[in-house]
Amino acid sequence: MSDREHGPQHPGDACAGARLHIVTGKGGTGKTTIAAALAQALAADGGRVLLVEVEGRQGVATLLGSPPLPYEEREMLSVPGGGSVSVLAADAEAALLEYLEMFYGMRRAGQALNRLGAVDFATTIAPGLRDVLLTGKATEAVRRRRGARRRPSAADPAAPFHYDAVVMDAPPTGRISQFLNVNSEVAGLARVGPIRNHADKVMEVIRSDRTLVHFVTLLEEMPAQETRDGIAEISELGLAAGMVLVNMARPPLLDDASLEAAASGGPDLDALAAGFGEARVENPRELAASLAGEVRGHALRVRLERRVRSDLEDLGRPLLELPLLTGGVDRAALDELTRRLAEQGVRR
């Protein structure tokens, strides 16, 4: 088994050399935010990175405080050192129209079908077609030759150009293996022809050593279990797992001895009440009981988080931790997460 299959020992090794970074995670783990931070980290030192959103939620636009993004590669973020991140809000209907024009020269016919609702109907009844169209946009960007232009042209902003890396904000872990296994999904639609050839090219990139699937999780049992299941599922498909990114991590507020004492029996209620009484605090016993409950709850949470972290470490993937940022996620918070990723060795 190769070192890549065993899993790198340093977080940065999980990214070095990869061109396509697929980011998944259970809903509520901050997957889109981490995907954007990863894109920025990979764009350091002059890199050009494409961030592709495939769920149709316009989550990246919301994160960046911009209006809904059109179906085009648009430079959205400048990174210190001359790097940049472009964003593509992939849309299955628009991708199908592009596909019909590219392979069949059916631009006008495709537009007519779209007006009739046939395009939306086709991608709804055949989710495998939708998935291969969406993944195809990201993998096509990966396949572009290095001789392509390095920046979008003002004269033709839609024309393709070369990226050093592509980050895909992918569906949640519960659907990631089905989403990425496009060959199986289109088997019942087309066994030969352009659609099948397109699916084969997509899988060629996804299964290559240029692609990694990263998992965003929390130090909670359910997201961690979905991470373990997701890694096992993509491994069965022959895909490579990258990093496990623990988001919203919080440091313990007490030392280990105090945490253990609090988790085992809680603080001394009588001593706390006596202390509050000496300080002339009203209702000292009630306040002491409330504080003791908070301290014990914190200690038990830290104990659980440490057990979950240990289980995640046993997966053999590089484990990175990102802090819980209070006050919501804005550009400053995104930059802070990017800095934390860089500090832990994330690079192209």
Q: Which residue has the higher pLDDT, 158 or 46?
A: 46
Q: Name the nearest CA neighbour of 276 among 292, 261, 299, 260.
A: 292
User: What percentage of the chain reaches a pLDDT higher than 70?
Assistant: 79
Q: Name the nearest CA neighbour of 82 among 53, 40, 34.
A: 40
198, 285 contact by CB (below 8 A): no
Q: Which residue has the higher pLDDT, 218 or 59?
A: 218
Is residue 164 very low, low, confident or very high in pLDDT (cuts 50, 70, 90)? very high
Confidence at residue 188, expressed as pLDDT on a 0 to 100 scale = 57
Which position has the token pair 């299964």? 207
Q: Which residue has the higher pLDDT, 27 or 275?
A: 27
Out of 30-44, 53-67, 115-129, 261-275, which region has the weakest mean confidence (pLDDT)?
Answer: 115-129
Check pLDDT > 80 for residue 191: no
Is residue 146 very low, low, confident or very high in pLDDT (cuts 50, 70, 90)? low
Highest mean pLDDT among 88-97, 186-195, 298-307: 298-307
Which position has the token pair 């832990």? 344
Q: Which residue has the higher pLDDT, 123 or 146?
A: 146
Determine the average pLDDT of the residues in 1-24: 65
107, 101 contact by CB (below 8 A): yes
Confidence at residue 44, expressed as pLDDT on a 0 to 100 scale = 92
pLDDT in tens, 226-242: 999 999 999 999 999 99
Q: Which two tokens stand for residue 63?
A: 């994160």
Confidence at residue 123, expressed as pLDDT on a 0 to 100 scale = 54
Check pLDDT > 60 for residue 149: no
Check pLDDT > 60 for residue 170: yes
The tally of CA atoms less than 13 A away on the side-chain side of residue 23 is 27
Check pLDDT > 50 for residue 141: yes
- Give the contacts of 233 (CB within 8 A, at least 6 positions apart): 176, 177
Determine the average pLDDT of the residues in 53-74: 89
Is residue 6 very low, low, confident or very high in pLDDT (cuts 50, 70, 90)? very low
Sheet with 211-217, side-by-side order of all strands: 74-79, 83-89, 48-53, 165-169, 20-25, 211-217, 241-249, 319-323
Confidence at residue 7, expressed as pLDDT on a 0 to 100 scale = 41
Determine the average pLDDT of the residues in 62-80: 90
Q: Which residue has the higher pLDDT, 310 or 275?
A: 310
Is residue 116 very low, low, confident or very high in pLDDT (cuts 50, 70, 90)? very low
Is residue 4 very low, low, confident or very high in pLDDT (cuts 50, 70, 90)? very low
Highest mean pLDDT among 22-31, 57-66, 180-189, 281-290: 22-31
Strand partners, 249: 323
Distance CA 74, CA 24 (A): 22
Q: Which two tokens stand for residue 209?
A: 């050593």
Confidence at residue 122, expressed as pLDDT on a 0 to 100 scale = 54
Answering whether pTM is above 0.75, one says: yes
* Average pLDDT of the chain, as a whole number: 83
Which position has the token pair 């973020």? 77
Question: Under the phi-then-psi rule, with left for phi > 0, alpha for psi from -120 to 50, and beta for the rest, what region is 248?
Answer: left
pLDDT in tens, 33-51: 999 999 999 999 899 999 9
Confidence at residue 14, expressed as pLDDT on a 0 to 100 scale = 63
Determine the average pLDDT of the residues in 174-200: 75
Check pLDDT > 60 for residue 314: yes
